[in-house]
Structure 1
Amino acid sequence: MLPLTLAEIAAAVGGTLHDADPQAQVTGLCTFDSRVVEPGGLYVALPGARVDGHDFAVQAIEAGAVVVLAARPLGVPAIVVEDTLAAYGRLATAIVARVPSLGVVGVTGSVGKTTTKDLIGQVLSSLGPTTAPPGNRNSESGMPENVSRVTADSRFLVLEMGARHVGDIAYLTSLVRPHVGVVLNVGTAHLGEFGSREAIAKAKGELVEALAADGAAVLNADDPMVAAMAGRTAAEVVTFGLGAEATVRAESVEVDGTGRASFTLRTPAGAAKVALRLVGEHLVPNALAAAAVALHFTDDLALIAQALSTAAPVSEGRMQVVESPAGFTVINDAYNAGPVSMTAALRTLTKLAAGRRAVAVLGQMNELGETSTADHVGVGAVAAEVGVDWLLTVGNDDAAQLGRAAAERGVATRHVPDRDAAREALAEQLAPGDVVLFKGSNSVGLMALATTLAAGTDLTTD
């Protein structure tokens, strides 16, 4: 965090100080989550549907926060504003303005934002100090928290930008304007919120609309709805993909017995060999996007290829492969799920199993709208097609439909209603040597179960 006095913060957000020393400094994280407040930080009291952040103000101060950004005086050091969320956004704008040389990269898409952000962060770190926090704080409340991690020597800032409505990304880019914008794909995530893929494309394209003429729009040439966004930006357009027409592309892709891909990275700056440490052939386009971003800042292709080849998983629950002390290989891809990522994960599972028993633990995929049933049935068919040996579905009727589709095609299947029942079923069924994939929407809670199994903890105990 850039050190800022309370007087400077109040001026930036249009607030007034109450019970606070104007010269006191905020030197730590600016967060809306009272559980992660750190000494020297700032706590943002956001109103919520179930709880009001103002109720945790005293707790935040006791945890070390210097001040609370609040909508009313609270009897603790506070900067009072009319709208705390809007003020939080203005604070993010002010922080970035204090580092004028900062190169900002925005990443959006229906699938793969976090992994791509993590890859970009690791590649750009080879060029200079880079702020690219793990996880996916990508909303109007989460993005400012990530911005607050910028330091005086930060050269790059990589931000994930999510959307549930048209206009969400336009708002985020109005707070922090990227120099480079990456659009990965237009899928069906949050289709229930948007209503159509066309609306999703409209929302995702707001990122490239925000770019300046000297910026770069990095677009997936293999996704027609993304490629069409080239006409929506004043920036230079750089495409990535597997096809010959892509500016940055992968040639001669090979996958080894551990599920890791290697390829020739072909770019206008030349070609280089890349061997990913990340598991899954489907992550090759993510790596290409990261390379395309890096090429905006450097023409050192050897450095880019080396950084991609050494990049490791950063954010929890995204294709993390762990050898459990109990003898299982655990693939923790349980942070979230959609039809495309489910399909990719299942293909990786059976590739990695390579003769061992392939077990898939799949929760429902939420927010798919009218296509939800068909999407779940389709994933069940994929499970059979790729050769899953045993399938455990967890959650609602959509998850059960997925299991029935697989069972009709010959896959041994069981359905349970929740994570606790899944734990019991796995304790009965798993054997050393099994390769076990966990994937589903985050609300199903499979990530905790994957973590437990990966640690070698006995599933029969709580």
Structure 2
Amino acid sequence: MIALSLAEIAAVVGGQTHDIPDPSAQVTGPVVRDSREVEPGSLFVAFAGERVDGHDFAAAVVEAGAAAVLASRPVGVPAIVVDDVQTALGALARHVVDKLGATLVALTGSAGKTSTKDLVAQVLRRAAPTVFTPGSLNNEIGLPLTALSATEETKFLVLEMGARGIGHIRYLTGLTPPRIGLVLNVGTAHIGEFGGREQIAQAKGELVEALPAAADGGVAVLNADDPLVRAMASRTAAKVVLFGESGEADVRAENVRLTDSGQPSFSLHTPSGCSDVTMRLYGEHHVSNALAAAAVAHELGMSVTEIATALSEAGSLSRWRMEVTERPDGVTIVNDAYNANPESMRAALRALAAMGKGGRTWAVLGKMAELGDEALAEHDAVGRLAVRLNVSKLVAVGGIEASWLQLGAYNEGSWGEESVHVSDAQAAVDLLRSELRPGDVVLVKASRSVGLESVAQALLATGAEGEVAVR
């Protein structure tokens, strides 16, 4: 974070200083909520959770070098006490980004947010110092913490914004007002909470509504291939830039194809020229993500050659998202278990089908959460798609939703042992250990709450594999 005195922070957040001998002392380290991340000069933010109360760590973090604690009550060590810690954190983030003058790029969408955010950041940081959301910390706590990690050298701040209801993104843009807003897609993730795709579109479009007018530098980057996203052009005063495979897109892909290993290759076309891209990432769905990143970079002045080179060299920065690892015995494990929704499931299955040309393909799938009344139909559809893509074997893991996956595959034409329903992750691991052979490709994917990353980790474990249990 940029250096601020404790007195200045207290004024910004409307707090009272307690047990601070020198209010002019500065916070020069990061703002953190995890006591294990404290460094000399840090500001520790004490949240009172259901199981852990950050206030209990106040003395320890100050002893470890924290300059002070942002707290909701006095804690016996230097502290800035506020009525609401989350509100204060947001106010501090807004103050810092206003002082920085960096270009803020915000993005949202139903699927692919984190992967695209990582691509945008990897492209932009070739041009100037860039700070971006780690992982998918895209809510009212993670977003301000990311913004506060920016420094005087930061030129680009890339922020992922998530939403679980109307008004969420509007709130986040109030904390960190973007100049460039990117909307990827409107799908069915969290449809059970929103009530329908139209409501999801309403929520995602709050991002473009928050942008400055075109005359003030505002840019809305919209997916030309998604009608609900494209329609958001009418909701913004910003300049509109379209990306996609549509011929009407300002930034588009032509001659899209997959390498033998399942990595996308295409010709990138921008208003200033074209250049070829071959990505290190896996799956054709990354083409759209790459075009979104290219559109942002082009608006920020990068050349098409620079953009194409950066996209071709970009890797996966966030864990458990299409992490591809080949074991010494020739079995390839694709760990995409961080999260899942119908759109990302379909994309992952198509990537698996493209990767498995030399051997058998295994789809180890679990529940997709928060689908509401659409849950049965969407799980059934994913099971059917696995059969249509000729996935060698579907292993559905878990409870009722997993049984819907398996039933969809069966009804589509799966027979014998081509699809199977197992009770839990350990059962899946036991099955795979007994049947995998060199050349096989295994995809592991489910919603985060299922914890299927343990299957991928167990399959990758070295040594006496048969003795490694899933925890």
Contact 1:121 1:132 in 2 (8 A): yes
| Residue 366 of structure 1: how far off its partner (Å) | 0.2
Q: 2:107, 2:434 → 1: CA distance?
A: 42
Where 1:185 maps in the other structure, the secondary structure is coil
Contact 2:5 2:23 in 1 (8 A): yes
Is 1:414 the counterpart of 2:417 in the alignment? no
Paired position in structure 2 for 1:292: 295
Paired position in structure 1 for 2:210: 210
Paired position in structure 1 for 2:336: 333
Which runs of 5 or more residues in structure 2 are unaligned?
none
| Two-structure CA RMSD over aligned residues (Å) | 1.7
Paired position in structure 2 for 1:169: 169
Contact 1:143 1:161 in 2 (8 A): yes
Paired position in structure 1 for 2:467: 460
Q: 1:418, 1:45 → 2: CA distance?
A: 36
Paired position in structure 2 for 1:445: 451
Paired position in structure 2 for 1:120: 120
Deviations 1:314-366 (A, max 9, x none): 11111121112343211111110011110111111121010311011111000
State the identity %: 54
Q: 1:245, 1:155 → 2: CA distance?
A: 31
Where 2:455 maps in the other structure, the secondary structure is helix
Is 1:242 the counterpart of 2:249 in the alignment? no
Match runs of 1:4-403 below 5 Å: 4-20=4-20, 21-100=22-101, 102-213=102-213, 214-403=217-406
Contact 2:31 2:148 in 1 (8 A): yes
TM-score by length of 2: 0.94
Q: 1:451 to 1:62 in 2, by over 3 A?
A: farther
Q: 2:222, 2:199 → 1: CA distance?
A: 18
| Residue 144 of structure 1: how far off its partner (Å) | 1.0
Q: 1:32, 1:406 → 2: CA distance?
A: 44
Paired position in structure 2 for 1:424: 430
Q: 1:455, 1:151 → 2: CA distance?
A: 39
Contact 1:326 1:456 in 2 (8 A): no
Which runs of 5 or more residues in structure 1 are unaligned?
none
Contact 1:104 1:157 in 2 (8 A): yes
Q: 2:239, 2:209 → 1: CA distance?
A: 12
Letter paired with 2:200? I
Q: 1:232, 1:318 → 2: CA distance?
A: 32
Deviations 1:123-166 (A, max 9, x none): 10111001124301100011011112211101100000000010
Letter paired with 2:381? G
| Residue 63 of structure 1: how far off its partner (Å) | 4.6
Letter paired with 2:172? L
Letter paired with 2:455? L
After alignment, is 110-119 or 388-397 more displaced?
Answer: 388-397
Contact 1:427 1:460 in 2 (8 A): no
Contact 1:331 1:435 in 2 (8 A): yes
Where 1:279 maps in the other structure, the secondary structure is coil
Where 2:338 maps in the other structure, the secondary structure is coil
Q: 1:366, 1:61 → 2: CA distance?
A: 40
| Residue 96 of structure 1: how far off its partner (Å) | 1.0
Contact 1:325 1:455 in 2 (8 A): no
Deviations 1:242-283 (A, max 9, x none): 111111110111111111111111111121111111111111
Q: 1:413, 1:460 → 2: CA distance?
A: 26
Letter paired with 2:438? P
Letter paired with 2:280? R
| Residue 26 of structure 1: how far off its partner (Å) | 2.2
Where 2:100 maps in the other structure, the secondary structure is coil
TM-score by length of 1: 0.96
Q: 1:46, 1:167 → 2: CA distance?
A: 23
Letter paired with 1:440? A
Q: 1:441 to 1:60 in 2, by over 3 A?
A: farther
| Residue 429 of structure 1: how far off its partner (Å) | 3.0
Contact 2:185 2:229 in 1 (8 A): yes
Letter paired with 2:90? G
Contact 2:257 2:265 in 1 (8 A): yes
Where 1:140 maps in the other structure, the secondary structure is coil
| Residue 22 of structure 1: how far off its partner (Å) | 1.8
Where 1:116 maps in the other structure, the secondary structure is helix
Letter paired with 1:65? A
Q: 1:461 to 1:28 in 2, by over 3 A?
A: same
Contact 1:32 1:141 in 2 (8 A): no
* Runs of 4+ deviating beyond 6 Å: none
Where 2:279 maps in the other structure, the secondary structure is strand
